[in-house]
């Protein structure tokens, strides 16, 4: 009897026990090749399960009768060999499943879009001319950014520049120039950006130097059909510039020349779904596999990038011309406020804003969203806390319902535990309260609010006070005439491991939006951090932070694994690894759900071994039966989750 061909299929399933290959017979007349989508029967009920054909073989090691593939969903090869290899490495590094990574990388199928793509007319790509190296960088160093196999930290310039009638950060103009250079050589580029604002600004900079036919945007706000359309565009055998959010890092482009990750320290680059990969790590893996250049670009390096630089793993390229705006620290309380200045502004900052706003827009960066970061009793001033969980009570705006910042419970029947009063008053300043006070301080001047609830991408060049939360700052036409960086102490005092890095990143971005000659005023902060930031010694400040973490065995000096589940299972894992040389454990810490969480800290050389062991534990639990009462304790593993360390600092909740 002749042997029939066998398809090895990876099910598209979230179940850990199904994250492996299953052999199926290929029916007569079905043209199957690796990378296509199929549906296969699975389980005792032969329920149909979607999956990807990973391999086609002549025979199977299975000695029984193979079930045949039920149907071929599409003949289009959406899972390339390169993407599969990348997904396998990402999954292994994160103690996760390959199918979970592919779910992040490959969009859902859209039939009409796919049919149109299959019937398209193939055209010869028209590549742009290669640009000259910018005069603010050494020519040899700039060309080395895109060299085969190179890895760089690239410091971007400050300021804004006009592009097609609008202003965009000059840093994005330089990224577009580098992407144009790579595309002109016939190679593809992937530009991975933090959020939608960066994507819009990057798109404007790119469209000014290359045609739209050479671009593919990966935007989370796109419809599923648009996302699939751009994904299929990447499968064409012609170079393309891909730009977008963290999912763009997986784009299956042909002849990849460079991967550029912008502001890699931004938390938006970390995936929220298992196995929680970070764009920085995926970029490095992709560079190793493909030989593409890897570039981390930003105004200041992340602590992870500083570690790689000091290891000699990354080269550096910095501008030869210093365009960083001047910073004046004005610690609150060191000077008496002017008679008409708002309570939050030192007199020197108030006078500077008053003069600058006569000529154009001024940026005010604040930390807290809402009206105020907290509430206190209106009578005795005691901190108002939730009667259910003890969390802080908050109110987004005056007149809105008060709720708990932890559990979300409404505080309709709240009474102060000290004086039994039911009245509140705001404590601290959120963007709402700041906007109100600045409106009173600058009568007749428009006050523009920009935050998550009020997204603003651009503002004009007319006088205005623009109040924005960090990361939500709009770009002003021609640049801002001054900037106020408020809440410095509150930003740095957060119980978060990355508080310093996040704060510096936010400050540097605000400064990059200033026009030449404009000054940034740093308020509410003095001491070492303020002095280092004002003097431009940010790199030295972050290098010192890295050394402190190395002494304390904190990421990125070591890798960590967060393990959440039933107390017996987590304790067993922690005990097993706590006896290994070089590895130590923290916890377990009880959680409100009834589960517990523990942390394993390990050197990089043991990280893969720990990840494999934790993945095996997850699969073992999924295939076995849980004792009564452990349903809420299903094992959850997250590698390099610094947020778990922050939760340990806060204690049981």
Q: What is the pLDDT of residue 604?
A: 96
3-state secondary structure of 630: coil
pLDDT value at residue 343: 52
- Least confident range from 436-450, 508-522, 635-649: namely 635-649
| pTM score | 0.90
For residue range 124-150, list pLDDT tens digits in order.
Answer: 778 999 999 999 999 999 999 999 999
Give, in order, the Cα–Cα distances in Å from 38 to each of 54, 75, 109. Answer: 11, 9, 12
What is the distance of C-alpha 427 from the center of its chain? 31
What is the DSSP code (8-state) at residue 324?
A: P
Closest C-alpha among 425, 447, 438, 450 to residue 372: 425
Distance separating alpha carbons of residues 109 and 117, to the nearest angstrom: 12
Region of poorest pLDDT, from 144-158, 228-242, 362-376, 539-553: 362-376
* Whether residue 122 has pLDDT greater than 80: no
Mean of pLDDT values over 419-429: 71
Please choose, from the candidates 621, 615, 574, the residue with its C-alpha nearest in 3D space to the C-alpha of residue 598.
574
pLDDT tens digit sequence for 444-479: 899 999 998 899 999 999 999 999 999 999 999 999
CA distance 605 to 23: 34
Tokens of 319: 């501008």
3-state secondary structure 530-549: HHHHHHCCHHHHHHHHHHHH
Cβ distance 192 to 279 under 8 Å? yes
As a whole number, the mean pLDDT across the chain is 89
pLDDT at 385: 76
- pLDDT of residue 58 exceeding 70, the answer is yes
**Which has more pLDDT, 395 or 43?**
43
The predicted structure's pLDDT at residue 36: 97
pLDDT for 389 beyond 80: no
Query: Are the C-beta atoms of 646 and 584 separated by less than 8 Å?
Result: no
Residue 82 binned pLDDT confidence (cut-offs 50, 70, 90): very high
Tell me the per-residue pLDDT of 63-74, one tens digit each, with 9 for 90 and over.
888 999 999 999
Q: What is the rounded radius of gyration, in angstroms, for the C-alpha atoms of the chain?
A: 27
The confidence band for 627, taking pLDDT boundaries of 50, 70 and 90, is low
Q: How much is the pLDDT for 334?
A: 40
pLDDT > 60? residue 399: no
> What average pLDDT does range 301-311 have in this prediction?
97
Q: Tell me the per-residue pLDDT of 486-513, one tens digit each, with 9 for 90 and over.
A: 988 888 888 889 999 999 999 999 999 9
State residue 50's pLDDT score. 96
pLDDT at 404 over 80: no
Return the percentage of the chain with pLDDT > 70, whole number.
91
Distances (CA, A) of 628 to 385, 435, 633: 35, 54, 11
Do 427 and 383 meet the contact criterion of CB atoms below 8 Å apart?
A: yes
Please check the confidence at residue 190 and state whether its pLDDT lies above 80.
Answer: yes
- pLDDT score at 430: 76
pLDDT over 60 (residue 333): no
Q: What is the pLDDT of residue 59?
A: 85
Task: With beta carbons less than 8 A apart as the criterion, state whether 237 and 253 touch.
Answer: no
Crossing angle of the two packed helices 538-552 and 499-511, in degrees rounded to 10: 170
- Given a cut of 80, is residue 414 above it in pLDDT? no
C-beta of residue 411 within 8 angstroms of C-beta of residue 386? yes
**């010192």: which residue's tokens?**
544
Give the total residue count for the chain: 653
Using CB atoms within 10 A of its CB, is residue 27 exposed (0-12), middle (13-18) or buried (19+)? Answer: middle
pLDDT > 50? residue 644: yes
Among 502, 513, 399, 520, residue whose Cα is nearest residue 459: 513
pLDDT digits (tens, 9 = 90+) for 355-367: 999 999 999 999 8
Task: Note the pLDDT of residue 649.
Answer: 64
186-190, 243-247, 495-499, 647-651: least confident range = 647-651
């Amino acid at each position: 009897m002749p042997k029939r061909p066998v398809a090895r299929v990876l099910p598209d399933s979230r179940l850990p026990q199904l994250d492996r290959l299953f052999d199926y017979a290929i029916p007569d007349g079905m043209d199957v090749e690796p990378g296509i989508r199929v549906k296969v029967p699975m389980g005792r009920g032969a329920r149909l399960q979607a999956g990807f054909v990973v391999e086609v073989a002549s025979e199977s090691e299975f000695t029984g009768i193979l079930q045949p593939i039920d149907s071929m969903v599409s003949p289009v090869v959406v899972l390339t060999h390169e993407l599969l290899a990348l997904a396998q490495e990402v999954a292994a590094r994160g103690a996760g499943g390959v199918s979970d990574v592919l779910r992040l990388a490959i969009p859902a199928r859209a039939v009409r879009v796919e049919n149109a793509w299959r019937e398209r007319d193939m055209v010869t790509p028209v590549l742009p001319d290669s640009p000259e190296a910018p005069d603010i960088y050494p020519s040899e160093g700039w060309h080395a950014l895109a060299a085969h196999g190179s890895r760089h930290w690239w410091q971007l310039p400050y300021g804004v520049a006009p592009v097609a009638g609008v202003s965009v950060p000059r840093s994005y103009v330089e990224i577009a120039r580098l992407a144009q250079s790579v595309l002109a050589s016939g190679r593809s580029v992937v530009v991975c950006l933090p959020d939608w604002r960066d994507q819009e600004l990057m798109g404007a900079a790119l469209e000014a130097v290359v045609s739209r036919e050479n671009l593919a945007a990966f935007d989370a706000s796109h419809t599923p059909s648009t996302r699939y359309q751009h994904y299929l565009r990447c499968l064409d055998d012609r170079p393309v510039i891909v730009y977008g959010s963290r999912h763009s890092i997986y784009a299956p482009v042909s002849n990849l020349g460079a991967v550029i990750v912008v502001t890699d320290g931004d938390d938006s680059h970390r995936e929220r779904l298992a196995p929680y990969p970070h764009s920085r790590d995926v970029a490095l893996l992709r560079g190793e596999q493909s030989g593409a250049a890897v570039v981390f670009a930003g105004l200041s390096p992340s602590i992870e990038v500083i570690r790689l630089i000091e290891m000699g793993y990354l080269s550096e390229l910095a501008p030869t011309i210093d365009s960083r705006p001047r910073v004046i620290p004005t610690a609150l309380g060191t000077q008496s406020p002017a008679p008409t200045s708002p309570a939050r502004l030192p007199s020197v900052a108030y006078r500077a804003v008053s003069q600058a706003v006569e000529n154009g827009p001024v940026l005010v960066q604040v930390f807290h969203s809402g009206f105020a970061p907290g509430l206190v009793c209106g009578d005795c001033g005691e901190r108002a806390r939730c009667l259910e969980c003890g969390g802080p009570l908050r109110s987004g705006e005056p007149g809105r319902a008060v709720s708990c910042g932890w559990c979300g419970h409404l505080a309709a029947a709240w009474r102060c535990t000290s004086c039994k009063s039911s009245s509140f008053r705001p404590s601290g300043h959120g963007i709402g309260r700041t906007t109100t006070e600045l409106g009173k301080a600058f009568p007749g001047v428009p006050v523009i609010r920009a935050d998550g609830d009020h997204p603003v991408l651009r503002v004009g060049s007319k006088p205005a006070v623009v109040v924005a939360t960090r990361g939500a700052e709009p770009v002003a036409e021609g640049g801002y005439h001054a900037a106020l960086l408020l809440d410095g102490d509150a930003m740095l005092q957060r119980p978060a491991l990355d508080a310093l890095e996040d704060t510096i990143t936010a400050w540097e971005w605000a400064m990059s939006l200033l026009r030449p000659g404009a000054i940034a005023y740093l308020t509410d902060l003095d001491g070492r951090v303020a002095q280092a930031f004002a003097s431009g010694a940010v790199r030295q400040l972050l290098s010192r932070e890295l050394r402190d973490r190395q002494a304390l065995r904190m990421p990125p000096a070591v890798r960590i694994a967060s393990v959440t589940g039933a107390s017996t299972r987590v304790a067993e894992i922690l005990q097993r690894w706590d006896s290994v040389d070089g590895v130590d454990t923290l916890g377990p810490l009880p959680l409100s759900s009834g589960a517990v969480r523990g942390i394993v800290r390990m050197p990089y050389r043991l990280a893969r071994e720990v990840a494999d062991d934790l993945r095996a534990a997850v699969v073992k639990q999924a295939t076995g039966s849980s004792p009564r009462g452990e349903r809420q304790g299903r094992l959850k593993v997250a590698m390099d989750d610094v947020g778990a360390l922050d939760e340990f600092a806060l204690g049981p909740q």
